[in-house]
Structure 1
Amino acid sequence: MNDHVLVVEDEIQLATLTEDYLKASGFQTSALYEGLSVVEWVKTHSPDLILLDSMLPGKDGVEICKEIRQFSQVPIIMVTAKIDEIDRLLGLEIGSDDYICKPCSLREVVARVKAVLRRHALVPENLIQSAESNSEPDIILQLDKTRYKAKLRGRELDLTAVEFAMLDILSASPGRVYSRGQLMEAIYRDNRIVSERTIDSHIKKLRKKFTEVQPDYELIHSVYGAGYKLEY
């Protein structure tokens, strides 16, 4: 593994520890400790992934992320100590690929880095295609993870950030059944308390929006006693 991870963190000791964990897992690393130099550094060095703290001296991580998205689709994981900032980080305008809440285990950080890189490697254009082998594939579902937008049969869906996150998870492994608990854990990473009915409500809203585009086509299926899966 030779992926190069840029760690942007103003707490130098934490940045150093994060680099140590990443290096132990085979990554190359670099670190920056303030926000003003990040954009130019990324343009010059082209890292494979950025761990970006949301609160930095000089320029905050959210603004940095927006600027980087103007010229690069490099995976970005935002790191925040502010629970009330999570909805903002998941907003359509940010363009981050994932977020981590402080305090967090550095092993979890490494696992998230690996997961995001793996996802980008498997779906480089963020396209979910039908299984039919035509000369021009019939694209059923298209996800743009940099803008949190989705299209079904070419028509844009009006999704909330949570609905997009749920669709992203389900579409990553078509046919795989996810329990309500797994969906809750994947979507609400800030450990907020939600009920299984909340997941059911989001699924219901997703299905309604799918039906508005294609009335006779079921994309998300219920598996009795188990959960939900996305299948064409």
Structure 2
Amino acid sequence: MNIVWVEDEENLLAECVAFFKQEGYRVYGASTYEEAVQRIETVKPDLLIVDWMLPGGGSGLDLCKLNERQWNLPVIMVTAKGDEFDKVLALELGADDYVSKPFGLRELGARIKAVMRRSRRSTNMQVTSDADATICRGELTIDPSKYTVFKSCLKVELTRTEFTLLLKLASHPGRVYTRMQLMDEALGDAYVGFERTMDSHIRNIRRKLEQNPADPRYVLTVYGVGYSFNEEV
């Protein structure tokens, strides 16, 4: 498995690269945003490990945003920032997991394996459960094989997390999911303990899909329970 590791602390980066190479991974280091982009384009990695703070023109969060638009790779954010707001922000911008410094290399190795399992599960969910078939719900066209959503022929830009949630809901119209079910089935255990971030994801989906997000047509709230996709669409 190929990993691009973006970290501006040279000693830490060298230690981590050496350790995970011994574990059988092919690890390629980068210390700036610009170098990371070049590495990713050249290496075509399976996973990104990204420091929040980077020198130069872009941060780790900027790299997460670019990844959502361009590569759609699993991402682990590694940073000295450790409060809940920062963790939620990183996850909402596309990170699949979040590790605070200082961290143990073996723990991080376990997280790498967990993120890759979730990534494969997400891919399998899209390929096998929906047989790669395009889903049409009202004005929405959802293509699991291409990670695309169109509304009335206009492309809707969703993050990978938003797309995964929408696909899960739209695949089973009328079925009610609790926040915990959506996190477990669609997102995985990186989100455990952050149930309320689900509300933020749903708000973002509505903002991008609905004509009137305050009166949604597609993703409905089932008060006291969770969310469902409108089966009448």
TM-score normalised to the size of structure 2? Answer: 0.61
Q: Please tell me whether the aligned partners of residues 79 and 99 of structure 1 are also in contact (alpha carbons under 8 angstroms).
A: yes
1:86 to 2:87 alignment: yes
Q: CA deviation at 1:103?
A: 1.6
CA distance 1:122–1:11, shift in 2 (3 Å): same
Q: CA deviation at 1:86?
A: 1.1
Q: CA deviation at 1:114?
A: 1.3
Q: How far apart, CA to CA, are the structure 2 residues paired with 1:10 and 1:106? A: 17
Q: How far apart, CA to CA, are the structure 1 residues paired with 2:132 and 2:60? A: 42
Q: How far apart, CA to CA, are the structure 1 residues paired with 2:68 and 2:133? A: 29
Residue 114 of structure 1: aligned partner: 113
Amino acid aligned to 1:8: V
CA distance 1:64–1:126, shift in 2 (3 Å): farther
**Residue 208 (structure 1) aligned to one of 215, 220, 226:** 226
Q: How far apart, CA to CA, are the structure 2 residues paired with 1:46 and 1:134? A: 26
Q: Count residues with an aligned counterpart.
A: 180
Q: CA deviation at 1:186?
A: 5.8
Q: How far apart, CA to CA, are the structure 2 residues paired with 1:206 and 1:128? A: 32
Residues 26-48 of structure 1 deviation map (CA, whole Å, 9 limit, x = unaligned): 10111112222211221122111
CA distance 1:25–1:66, shift in 2 (3 Å): same
Q: Please tell me whether the aligned partners of residues 129 and 137 of structure 1 are also in contact (alpha carbons under 8 angstroms).
A: no
**Residue 15 (structure 2) aligned to one of 14, 17, 22:** 17
Residue 153 of structure 1: aligned partner: 170
CA distance 1:26–1:127, shift in 2 (3 Å): same
CA distance 1:206–1:57, shift in 2 (3 Å): farther
- Which runs of 5 or more structure 2 residues have no equivalent in the other structure? 137-143, 148-157, 174-178, 200-221
Residue 38 of structure 2: aligned partner: 40
Q: How far apart, CA to CA, are the structure 2 residues paired with 1:128 and 1:68? A: 21
CA distance 1:23–1:207, shift in 2 (3 Å): same
Q: CA deviation at 1:97?
A: 1.7
CA distance 1:21–1:136, shift in 2 (3 Å): same
CA distance 1:77–1:134, shift in 2 (3 Å): closer
Q: Please tell me whether the aligned partners of residues 128 and 171 of structure 1 are also in contact (alpha carbons under 8 angstroms).
A: no
CA distance 1:172–1:90, shift in 2 (3 Å): closer
Secondary structure class of the residue paired with 1:209: strand
Q: How far apart, CA to CA, are the structure 2 residues paired with 1:135 and 1:77? A: 27
TM-score normalised to the size of structure 1? Answer: 0.62
Q: How far apart, CA to CA, are the structure 1 residues paired with 2:70 and 2:113? A: 23
- Which runs of 5 or more structure 1 residues have no equivalent in the other structure? 157-162, 174-182, 190-197, 216-232
